[in-house]
């Protein structure tokens, strides 16, 4: 009921009467009053006016299930939400829930991760109350070899949400980073449970640097935050909700063809370093080339000096001008 009342208050700038809430939820005025007081105790500034009702004046910067859920405008993404003030990793929590049968669209949120993970086992962390840390469980009817494209979809969703909500120009460093001003503001880690011919579930972990004020010295040339780049504080819950809305859209377009063909042009418009120099880092082998965008399978096309075009399915790719690669 807490999320439902918060949703009703968030969706209008006008007053919502206690009677409206009672009729909608099928509860007593006393029950509504108790929830309103709980929200006030949680830090929400709510105005109560006799014969008018309740109106939210200010919402704290929370990423709780109630706050994010109240802002969602999705069909299935975030239908079930689990929030942890502190956890080791939202991906770990999401995998546990998925193994227990959590439905498609289940979302895990945290305010702080003790053991956040990036690609290739790297650590990722951020101070409490500064970032969006979320993991989404999806159960697509896809062959496992197509799962990696889910990372590309989330990259597009984050990019669209950051541009739309914050007005910040961003690009995507293939396959899993969103960058602004040549620095990383978001990383995405997709993990999979599968059989030979089908996917049990995917967990798409997304970490966005939102309101961080500073970074350790060894990261200042590589990472930034929306706040540092815009000078504005951003609602983390609103950004998370916007990301999920956009992901749901891109997921639907992707599933029409089960590849990137309907999204390929838009993705390539966002691709950092397209038609520029890149270095592909594969185990025991590195080579330079020119990025020619992605194909319909989400592979990065890299043209070598002799005109040969290779399809890069996975691996590290350095883009000239980003993260210090010159």
- Give domain limits for the chain: 2-58, 65-269, 273-319
Quick one: pLDDT at residue 89?
93
> What distance separates the 2 farthest-apart alpha carbons in the chain?
77
Quick one: pLDDT at residue 122?
56
**273-319 architecture in CATH?**
Roll (2.30)
Quick one: pLDDT at residue 291?
97
Of 183, 259, 194, which Cα lies nearest the Cα of 221?
Answer: 183
Round to whole Å and give the CA distance between 107 and 95: 11
Please tell me the pTM assigned to this model.
0.91
Structure tokens at 201: 């579930």
Quick one: pLDDT at residue 125?
62
Round to whole Å and give the CA distance between 232 and 9: 24
Round to whole Å and give the CA distance between 68 and 237: 5
Return the sign of the alpha-carbon dihedral for residues 7, 9, 13, 14.
positive
Encode burial over 207-218: b for 16+ CB neighbours within 10 A, e otherwise.
bbbbbbeebeee
The tens-digit pLDDT sequence of the chain (326 residues) is 888 999 999 888 889 988 889 988 889 889 999 999 999 999 899 999 998 999 999 999 999 999 999 999 999 999 999 999 999 999 999 999 999 999 999 999 999 998 755 555 555 567 899 999 999 999 999 999 999 999 999 999 999 999 999 999 999 999 999 999 999 999 999 999 999 999 999 999 999 999 999 888 888 889 999 999 999 999 999 999 999 999 999 999 999 999 999 999 999 999 999 999 999 987 778 899 999 999 999 999 999 988 999 999 887 899 977 875 54
Domain 2-58 in CATH 1.10.10.10: yes
Quick one: pLDDT at residue 117?
56
Of 23, 20, 11, which Cα lies nearest the Cα of 52?
Answer: 20
Quick one: pLDDT at residue 134?
97
Round to whole Å and give the CA distance between 151 and 145: 13
Q: CB of 260 within 8 A of CB of 298?
A: yes
Q: How far are the Cα atoms of 17, 140, 297 from residue 51, in angstroms, in the given order?
A: 8, 49, 59
Q: CB of 91 within 8 A of CB of 160?
A: no
Quick one: pLDDT at residue 146?
96
Query: Which residue has 């640097």 as its token pair?
Result: 209
- 65-269 belongs to which homologous superfamily? Bira Bifunctional Protein; Domain 2 (3.30.930.10)
């Amino acid at each position: 009921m807490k999320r439902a009342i918060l949703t009703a208050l968030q969706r209008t700038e006008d007053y919502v009467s206690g009677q409206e809430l009672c009729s909608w939820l099928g509860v007593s005025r006393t029950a509504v009053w108790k929830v309103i007081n709980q929200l006030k105790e949680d830090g929400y500034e709510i105005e109560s006016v006799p014969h008018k009702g309740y109106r939210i004046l200010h919402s704290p910067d929370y990423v709780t299930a109630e706050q994010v859920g109240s802002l969602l405008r999705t069909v299935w993404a975030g239908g079930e939400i689990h929030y942890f003030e502190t956890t080791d990793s939202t991906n770990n929590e999401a995998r546990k829930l998925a193994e227990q049968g959590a439905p498609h669209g289940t979302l895990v949120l945290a305010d702080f991760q003790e053991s956040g993970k990036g690609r290739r086992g790297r650590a990722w962390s951020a101070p409490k109350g500064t970032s969006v840390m979320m993991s989404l469980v999806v159960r697509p009817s896809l062959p496992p070899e197509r799962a990696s494209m889910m990372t590309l979809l989330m990259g597009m969703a984050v990019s669209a949400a950051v541009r739309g909500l914050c007005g910040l120009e961003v690009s995507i460093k293939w396959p899993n980073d969103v960058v602004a001003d040549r620095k990383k503001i978001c990383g995405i880690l997709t993990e999979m449970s599968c059989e030979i011919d089908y996917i049990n579930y995917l967990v798409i972990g997304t970490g966005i640097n939102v309101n961080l004020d500073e970074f350790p010295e060894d990261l200042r040339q590589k990472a930034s935050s929306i706040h540092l780049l815009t000078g504005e504080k951003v609602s983390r819950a609103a950004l998370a909700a916007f990301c999920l809305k956009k992901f749901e859209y891109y997921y639907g377009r992707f599933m029409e063809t089960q590849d990137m063909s309907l999204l390929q042009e838009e993705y390539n418009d966002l691709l950092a370093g397209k038609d520029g120099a890149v270095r592909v880092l594969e185990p025991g082998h590195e080579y330079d080339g020119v990025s020619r965008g992605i194909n319909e399978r989400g592979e990065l096309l890299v043209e070598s000096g002799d005109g040969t075009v290779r399809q890069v399915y996975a691996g590290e790719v350095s883009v000239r001008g980003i993260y210090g690669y010159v």
